[in-house]
Amino acid sequence: MDVGVRSKGARIRSAAFGYANVIPFLCFALFPFYYMVITSLKNDAELYDLKAVPFLIQTGVITDHYRYLLAKTEFLTWMKNSLIISVIATSVSLVISILAGYSLARLRFRGVNSFGTAVFITYLVPPTLLFLPLSQVVVWLGISDTIWALVVTYPTFLVPFSTWLLMGYFRTIPKEVEECALVDGASRMQTLIRVVLPMAVPGIVCAALFGFTLTWNEFTYALTFISQSANKTAVVGVTADLIRGDIYYWGSLMAGAVLASVPIVAVYVFFLDYYVSGLTAGAVKG
Amino acid sequence: MAVGSRVLEAAGLARPGRLARLREWWEQEHVFGYGLILPALLLIVCLVAYPFGMSVYFSLSDYWVGSPGRFVGLGNFRNIIGNEIFQRTVYNSFVFTSIAVAFKTVLGIWLAMLLFRNFRFKRLIRGAVLLPWVIPTALSTLAWWWMFDSLYSVVNWTAIHLGIMSPPGPNWLGMTNYAMTAVIAVNVWRGLPFFAIIVLAGLVSIPREYYEAAQVDGAGSWGRFRHVTLPLLRPVLAVVILFSTIFTFADFNIVRVLTRGGPVNTTHLFATLAYQVGLDGGNLGQGAAISLFLFPMLAAIVFVQLRYIRRE
Amino acid sequence: MRATSRREFMRAASGATVGMASWLALGKAPAFAQKRELTFLSWNHFVPASDDELRKQAEAFGKLANCEVRVDTIAHLQLPAKRAAEAQSQSGHDLMLTGSADPFLFEHNLADVGDLIGELGKQYGGWYPFAKESCETASGWKAIPWFWISFPATYNETHFMKAGLQTPKTWAELLHHGKILKKQGNPVGIAISHCADANSTFWSILWCYGGKVLEADGKTPAITSDRTAQVIEWYKELYRDAMEPEVLSWDDASNNRCILAGKCSWIHNPISPYNLALAKKMPIVDEINHHNSPGGPAGIHSAPPINSVAIWKFSKNVQLAKDFLKFLFQKENYDAWIVASNAFNHPPLKNLADHPIWARNPKFAMLPKEAEYAHERGWPAKPSAAIQLVQVNYVLPDMVAKAVNGMPTKRAMAWAEDQIKLAVQGKLREAGA
C-alpha cells in the first residue's frame, strides 16, 4: 500500500503505527491460549489459591498434568484417531467437492443453478438434532462405534462448504486454457486432472485446511456415534475423561487442549501462504 | 471411469464403435456435468436429506425421546411461540448475532488491513491471529469459562489490579448484560480470524494501480479506504458476512459451556434451547421445532445476500 | 444361559418391533458375535477409583460368564445425547446408567427388571422407599436403583467456630447463621442458576416447607401456594443478606471451589469437595465437615441424585445383563465398590447400607441417615416427562432468580406455573396418543 517514495521518518512512523495496532489484536487472540498453557503447567494448590497471581506461575512449573494425560488416558490413541479421521474425511470430501465444484462452475447443463443453491441450502440445515436420525443411518450402514462412522458422516458438512469455495476458485481460471487442452484432443476428465487441477492448487489447499479444522474440532457426531474409548477422537476423549461430575481436571484438560491444537497450528503456519492466496480467488469471485 | 473404459476396450475389440460411442456420450457437456455432481448429490440425498426430512417430521409430531409420536401439524410451533422462554431466545439470538457480526465486520476489516502491511515476523503474526479459529472450540470455551469464573476470574483480577474495576468486579456469567457481553466476546474472539483472513485475501486481490490512481487524484488514506478499498471489498464482505451470520446464528458451544442459557434464559440461543428441550428434556418434537425455526429465517437472509452477491 | 439369552433376544426384538416406529423394518442385520460382548454405558464417576473397581468387577464377571464386559464412561452432561441416539437407532449398549425421569421417559424401550428387584430386595432387607419412586413405572420396574449420592450440608468448621455458631438444624436457622457468617466474610453458597445443584437444593427446601410442584396426580400444577411464596421469600433474604451475587452464575463445580478456597462457610452438596481435598491433600480438608440436610415446618426432605441402571429392550443379552447386575450387587462386590468410592456411593438396599466406612469416619457418620429423607424429583407425583422438562429448563431456580432480581414473588410464581402448565400439556397429549 506504500506507494511512491517516502521519507525514512514516515516509514518508521507507519511501522510504529502498525505494531501499536496489531498488538492489542495479538493480545486478544493469544491471551486465552497463553492462559491455557499456564494453567496446564501449574500445580493444583496454586490454581485454587485465591491470592495467587493468576497469569504467572509462582510455585514452579510442573509437567504432572501432561504426564497424567499421556499415561492415565488414551490421549495418544485419540490423537491418532483424530488424525486418521480428519485426513480421510477431508480427502474424500475434497475429491467429491472438486468434481462437483468444477461441474457447477464450468459446465452448462440444465439445473446447474438450482443444484448450486441446493448445495448451499444444506449448509443452513440446523445441526442440533440432525445427529439423531443420522445415528440411525450409521447403524444401518453397520459402522456405528467405529471411526468409519465419522469418516462417512463428516463429508455431510464438508462437501457443501468446500464445493462452494472451489466453485469460486475454478471460475477464476481462464477458460482458454481448458479449451486449448480440449482442442488438442484431451478428454474432459484429462483436462480437469492435468490442466485445471494444477492451477487450482491454492484453492484446494484452502478447502483442505478448512476441512481439516472442521473435522478436527467436530464434537457432537464424535460423541454420539462412538462409545469405545479406543475409537474416540481427541476433543471428545479429553472432555469425556477429564470432566468427572462436578470436578474438572483443569490442568490436564488444558494440557489436552494445547496438545490437540498443535497439529493444526503446525499445518496452518506451514500452508498459510497457500491459504491466503487460495482464499483470494475463491472468495472474491464467489 | 478409467477402469471402466479399459474393460470396455478389452471386451469391445470386435466392435470398436461402441467404445467410441460411449466416450462421445460421456464427453457431452451435460452428461459430464451430471456425472461429476453425482457423488455430491448421492451424499446429500443419503446423508443430509433423510436426516433433515426426519427432523422436519419430528417437529410436526409429538415425538418424545423413546416413544414414537403422532402427527400434530404445527402444534409444536404454536406451543413454542407462546412460550416466554422461546420469545426471549428469539430476542437473544438477534441481539447476539447482530452485535457479534457487527464487531467481527469492523474489527475484521481493521485487522485484515493491519495484516496486509509488511511486518517483520509476518507469518508468525498471521499464524498467531488465526489461533482462536484453530483451537478446538469445545476446549477453548472451557478455557474462557475458567477465565470468567466467579471466583477465579482472571479478567476481573487484571481489571482490579489495573484499577479499572473495584473489587470484586462484575459477576460475568451471572448478570444479564454481562453474560451476553461475555458470550459475544468469546464468539468474536473465535470468529474474528475467519473474517480477517478472508478479507485479507480480498485485499491481496485489489490491483495496486487503483491505489496509485487514487493517490494521483490526491486521496488521503481515509479517502483511499472509502473510495477504493471498501467498494472493491464489497463482494468479499458480502460472502464473509453471509457465512459468519450462519455460523453465529447457529452457535451452540459457547453458550452451552459458558452459561447454559442462564441467567434466567437471557443468553439462550436457538441451538442451546433446542438441545435442552429436545435432548436433556426428551421432547424431541419441540426441540426440532425450535431448531427448525432458524431455517426459514436463515434462508431468507441467505436469499437476499445471495442475490446481492450474484448481482455483484 | 445361551439358550435363555437367545430367547430373551427374540422376545425383546419382537417387543421393540411392535413398540418402535416402522423404520426398524428397513432392517439391520442381526450380527451375532463369536464371543458375547456385554456393554455398559456409565458416567465418569466423581471418584475415579470407583470406576476402576467397577471395571475390575466387570472383568471378573466376564471370566465367570465367559463373555467380554466393556464399561464405557463419559461425562454426565453428555449422557442425554447418547441415550437419545441409542433409543433412536435401537442399537448401542446393553446396559446404561439412568437417573431422574429416565426410566419413565424410556419406559417402552427398557426391559422389565421386576424379577431382579424382588430377588435383591429379599436378599438385602428391602429397598429404601425412594427406589420405588424412581424406578417403578406404570408398566413395571424399568431400572435397578444402583446407588444414590447423599446431598448433605458441607460446612467449614473454623468459620462456624469463629462466629460461635452451631450447625443449623433448619433452613430458617441457616438464614439466621448465614447473615452472621457473611458479615464475617464467609457467605453461604447455594446456586440459583442453570445447574443441577440449584435444582436439588430447591426441591429440598420446597418440600421442607410443605410445597410441591405438581399434585400427586402428576397433572395439576401446585406451585402457586403460600408455601412456595415462603420459600421464595426465604431465598430472597438469604440472597440479600447471606450470599453473594455470584450464586446466579454458578455451575455444579462452583460451590465446591468456593468452599475449598476457604471462602464459603456452608454449601449444600455431595461430599465431593471433601473427598477432593482429601485426595489432593489440601490443608483445608481438616476444616470441612458435614451435617444432615436441614429441615423445615414440614420435616426433613431432600432430593439427592438417585442413579439406576437399565437394560435396553433391544439388547441381545438381557439375561446376561441381569446376571451381571446381580453380580455387582453381591455383598462383597458392592462393599468393595463403596470403599473404592470413599463412601460416595450409597446403596439403595437397607442391609448393604450397614457398612463400617460411614460409622468409622465421624465426618461421614450421619450420611446413611439421609436415605430416609430422600425422594425422587416430582414427589409426591411420579417422575414424568413434565417433571423432566421443568428440571432441564431450570424453571424452579429461574423462578427464584427472577424473584431475587426484583420480580414480585406472585409474578415469579405465576411465571413458573405457566412453564409447568406447558410442560404438562406436552406430556398429556402424548399420553392420549
Give tens-digit pLDDT for C46-61. 888 889 999 999 999 9
Read off the pLDDT band of A274 (50, 70, 90): low
B197/chain A closest Cα distance in angstroms: 7
Distance between CA C114 and CA C13 in Å, rounded? 19
Query: Is the predicted pLDDT of residue B7 greater than 90, yes or no?
Result: no
pLDDT value for B123: 74
Q: How far is CA A133 from CA A157, A210, A225, B43, in A?
A: 15, 26, 11, 15
What DSSP element (H or E) covers C306?
Answer: strand C306-311
Annotate C149-200 with DSSP letters as a single string: ----EEEEHHHHHHHT-PPPSBHHHHHHHHHHHHHTT--EE---SSSHHHHH
Query: Is the predicted pLDDT of residue A286 greater than 60, yes or no?
Result: no
pLDDT value for C21: 33
CATH number of A65-285: 1.10.3720.10
Distance between CA A251 and CA A242 in Å, rounded? 9
pLDDT value for A35: 86
Q: Per CATH, is B75-311 categorized as 3.40.50.1980?
A: no
Give tens-digit pLDDT for C124-183. 989 998 888 889 988 899 999 999 998 999 999 999 999 999 999 999 999 999 999 999
Q: Does B216 touch chain A (CB under 8 A)?
A: no
pLDDT value for B312: 52
pLDDT value for B8: 44
C140, HSE (Cβ side, Cα atoms, 13 Å): 13
C-alpha cell at C279: 485426595
Q: Where are the domains of chain B?
A: 2-59, 75-311
C248/chain B closest Cα distance in angstroms: 5
Q: Does A23 touch chain B (CB under 8 A)?
A: no
In order of their start, the domains of chain C are 2-148+305-373 (3.40.190.10), 153-303+393-432 (3.40.190.10)
A127/chain B closest Cα distance in angstroms: 8
What are the beta bridge partners of residue C374?
C302
CB atoms closer than 10 angstroms to residue C160: 22
List all residues of chain C from 236 to 265 with a beta carbon under 8 Å from chain B. 244-251, 254, 257-258, 261, 263
pLDDT value for C283: 87
Q: How far is CA A52 from CA A39, A43, A47, A56, C52, in A?
A: 12, 12, 8, 8, 34
Mutate to test the interface with C, among B65, B177, B284 (most CBs of C within 10 A): B65
Query: Is the predicted pLDDT of residue B69 greater than 50, yes or no?
Result: yes
C-alpha cell at C25: 423394518
List all residues of chain C from 188 to 217 with a beta carbon under 8 Å from chain A. 197
Query: Is the predicted pLDDT of residue B310 greater than 80, yes or no?
Result: no
pLDDT value for A36: 87
Q: Where are the domains of chain A?
A: 8-62, 65-285
pLDDT value for B159: 78
Asked if A224 lies within 8 A of C88 by C-beta distance, the reply is no
Read off the pLDDT band of C2 (50, 70, 90): very low
Distance between CA C82 and CA C88 in Å, rounded? 10
Give tens-digit pLDDT for B132-183. 888 888 888 888 888 887 777 777 787 777 777 776 677 778 777 888 999 9
Place of cell 430447591: C202
pLDDT value for C424: 85
Contact residues, chain C, for A149 at CB < 8 Å? none
Read off the pLDDT band of B204 (50, 70, 90): confident
Q: What mean pLDDT value characterizes chain B?
A: 81
What are the b/e assignments for C365-394, b being 16+ CB within 10 Å?
A: ebbbebbebbbbbbbebbbbbbbbbbbbbb
Predicted ipTM? Answer: 0.81
pLDDT value for C61: 93
Query: Is the predicted pLDDT of residue C22 greater than 60, yes or no?
Result: no
The mean pLDDT value for C11-31 works out to 37
> Between B65, B263, B277, which is nearest C401 by CB?
B263
